[in-house]
A and B are shown apart, each in its own frame.
Chain A
Amino acid sequence: MLGMAVLFAGIAGQLARLAGSGSDAIVASITEQPGTRSYVRPDILDRGGRLLATDIEMPSLYADPSLVQSLDDTTERLGSVLHDLDQGELRRLLSDRNRRFIWLRRGLSPRLAQQVHNLGLPGLEFRTELRRAYPLERLAGHVLGSVNVDNKGASGIERTIDETIGVEPTLGAPTSAGLPVRLSLDLGVQHALKDELEAAMARYDSKGAAGLVMDVRTGEMLASVSLPGVDPARPSELLDPNKTDKIQGGTYELGSVFKILTVAMALDSGKAKPDTVLDVTKPLSAGRFTIKDLHSSGRPLTVSEVFLHSSNVGSGMLALAEGADKQREFLDKLGLTRQLRTEAGPIAAPQVPARLGRAEQITIAYGHGIAVAPLQFAAATAAIINGGTMVTPTYFRNRTNANGPGPRVISEETSRSLSVLLRRNVAEKQGTGTRADVPGFRVGGKTGTAEMPGRGGYQEKSVVSSFLAAFPMDAPKYLVFVLIFEPKGTDASAGEVLAGRNAAPTAGLVIGRIAPLLGVRPVHDVAQLDD
Chain B
Amino acid sequence: MHPLTVSAAFLAISSAFLLYGLSYDTRQLEARVAAQERLADEARSDISVLKAERAHLARPDRIEPLARHPYRRHCPIVG
Contact = CB atoms under 8 A, between A and B. Distances in A.
Interface in A128-142: 133, 135-137, 139
Interface string A6-36: 0110010011001000010011001100000
A171 to B, nearest CB: 12
A326 interface: no
Q: Which of B16, B33, B45, B54 has the most CB of A within 10 A?
A: B45
Interface residues of B, number: 31
A379 B21 CA distance: 71
A139 B60 contact: yes
Interface string A169-182: 00001100000000
B12 A11 contact: yes
A133 B9 contact: no
Contacts of A202: none
A14 B16 contact: yes
A284 interface: no
Interface size grouping (class) on chain A = 20 to 34
Nearest to B33: A27
A195 B30 contact: no
Contacts of A173: 41
A188 B56 CA distance: 14
Contacts of B33: 27
A26 B61 CA distance: 50
A7 B23 contact: no
A233 to B, nearest CB: 11
A150 interface: no
A54 B46 CA distance: 12
Contacts, number: 74
B23 A56 contact: no
B42 to A, nearest CB: 9
Contact of B12 (A7, A18, A136): A7
A137 B62 CA distance: 12
A57 interface: yes
Contacts of A133: 48, 52
B72 interface: no
Interface string B26-63: 11001101100100010011001101111110111100
Given A8-B12, A14-B16, A27-B30, A51 B60 contact: no
Nearest to B16: A11
A105 interface: no
Interface string A186-198: 0110110001000
B7 interface: no
A174 B45 contact: yes
15 contacts: A30-B30, A30-B34, A31-B37, A50-B58, A56-B49, A57-B45, A57-B49, A135-B52, A135-B53, A135-B55, A135-B56, A136-B55, A173-B41, A174-B48, A195-B61
What 9 A-B pairs have minimum CB-CB distances, sorted nearest first?
Answer: A191-B60, A135-B55, A135-B56, A51-B55, A57-B45, A133-B52, A30-B34, A56-B48, A135-B52
Given A14-B16, A55-B48, A135-B59, 7 more contacts: A15-B19, A51-B55, A54-B52, A56-B52, A136-B59, A137-B59, A191-B61
